[in-house]
Structure 1
Amino acid sequence: MSKSKNESNGGITAYSVKTKTKNVPMIDPVIDIKSGRYIATGKDSEGNKMAAILGKAKAEEHIKNGDAKKGTGWD
């Protein structure tokens, strides 16, 4: 099974705009639901803000595994 661009070793990764680096691990991600989209927000190891859009299945999987916390918009 191949890894998607939003997961690495079970955690959520994203593109860092500030450092222009791909697959940067997100620290303490929170997944919010806004307009039907699952958006993970967090920070990288240097404290830069990051965000990644996830599908419903991946978002629920990360919450179930304890990789992320539920934010706003969840029932």
Structure 2
Amino acid sequence: MATKSEGAITAYSVKTKTKNVPIIDPVIDVKAGRYIATGLDKDGNKLAAILGKAKAEEHIKNGAAKKGSGW
């Protein structure tokens, strides 16, 4: 599950098995009613995190993420 850490969206990295990895330049898409933040970590590995509607809108409002498709 994604959390907010100093304005950044974080996720679990399956490849490196580490928690709270910040997503660089996240894009939030809406698919099947779920808000999904996708992006890369500092090493170029793909990350994704599922957010609630309130958190997704908060990150977009603060400028921490961009709107993707499905809005």
Q: TM-score, normalized by length of structure 2? A: 0.96
Deviating beyond 6 angstroms after TM superposition, the runs of 4 or more aligned structure 1 residues are none
Which residues of structure 1 form unaligned runs of 5+?
none
CA distance in 2, matches of 1:28, 1:13: 11
Distance across 2 between alignment mates of 1:17 and 1:6: 16
Residues matched between the structures, number: 71
Whether 1:54 and 2:51 are equivalent positions in the alignment is yes
Q: Which amino acid aligns with 1:44?
A: D
In structure 1, the partner of 2:34 is 37
Residue 13 (1) aligns with residue 10 (2)? yes
Supply the RMSD in Å over aligned alpha carbons: 1.2
Deviation at 1:5, TM superposition (A): 4.6
**Structure with the larger strand share:** 2
Q: State TM-score, norm by structure 1.
A: 0.91
